[in-house]
Structure 1
């Protein structure tokens, strides 16, 4: 009885000790405190702002948790020094030119530090090294971008509303074009005129092509004019002769003009002396009447029996010559 009573405290103490071990192990597992006993290295990054990052936040590399934020402090220049506790097992995967940025665990989750980038064949980081900070796209930046997009969209819809109002109220060129039938008909007429002009231009181009083809055809006048030097020289000579004739005609007209302006010349007398002109006119009338009388006398001579045979022979000879021709 006394022996069993003395062993009871021993059993109770052993049971409590085992329970304490399980409790301590559970606390370490649930609170993730077992990592406290892992060997770690420290890295530092200098941020302009941390967007609500807190001590104890996770550190990720390629989506894998490799450490936690040890401390956050503000420097004299108002930058933020963030010290990271990194597992030694991840040291070989972080190179010296890698960068850090602040992200979120999900869309609106807790803030985390993300290590990314770096070139191959670069030396791994050492304890106490400083990593450069890369571009950080926070939820606030996204919301600001969305806000600007909303403002731009509102401005676009406002402008479109004004444009549609002008279209429906016949304001502006497009509004008048849509609602004014006369203006539409005028524009349609202009379009038809342009189409006709285009068709004529096409015909002109075809004609020019045909003309140039004729220029290249040997034996044609156009080709001879372009390529035959003999024909060209003949035309050139003819043109020079025409120029000489033109000059001679000009000299003749000048002389005639001078003679007509001189009242003592024959032409001047005819143009300026009315009496001489009247006499010349009378002389011409006498010549006309004399020629008429001469025609009558010749017709009378033809009907005379003395000369009738002579005129008949002349008529026969004329008919014979005409038939031979």
Structure 2
């Protein structure tokens, strides 16, 4: 009797024990998910709009869950302060210049906070620090912008439809190009000319490059003129001398012109010599007479030298001339020895 009557009590006790075990396990599981049993620090951020963020939502860093939202409270006029529990193991990776932004697990999923940025030069955050917050995009504004974009897209599509229909009908310049074979040929010829001009421009650019390379050659004249002051000075002097020579040549040419003008004038002796044929014939006759007289004078002198009356005179004159030449030779020899 006693054994049978205690059996329901034992069964109830077993179920109660199992329920307590399940409850405790659930509590530990929830506490583990909420980071209740892990050492944490508190970090806050102030947002203008939290976009539906709730207490208990997750905090992520580099794709890893590092904490949860502890509390959400109003500060100031309309701002919202979000306090986060962060695992101490992740504290060293979060810097004072890190930023917090609100994100979503999916397009319509739960909101969460993502911490990102920060540099190694900044110090790690401490318990109670506040980091910079970036306000999330407003979904209503996003939808309004999307609707405006849709309207603009519809208008653009309509305009593009009208344009394409006109092109097909051959309206406008582009339509004429697409439908008129003659214009298309002209356009192809123009493109070919542009390509040829482009090739010629490229060749000219290459030639100019080669020319400038030659100019930059240290042994070249252009480089020496541009860099060597001595060469430049010499060139400047040469140019000045060339200018003087040009001036002198111009003056000489002017003088020659004046002389030639005077030579053409029959009022002077040279002009008469050049232009008067009668005078030229008389001058030639006079020159022939002078040549004949000179020849006869030489013959007379030779006859006088052979004359016995004047032979002694000429011998004394020849002897005196020989002595004078000998004296000059001795003086020259003495000067050479000194």
TM-score (norm 2): 0.47
Report the TM-score when normalising by structure 1: 0.48
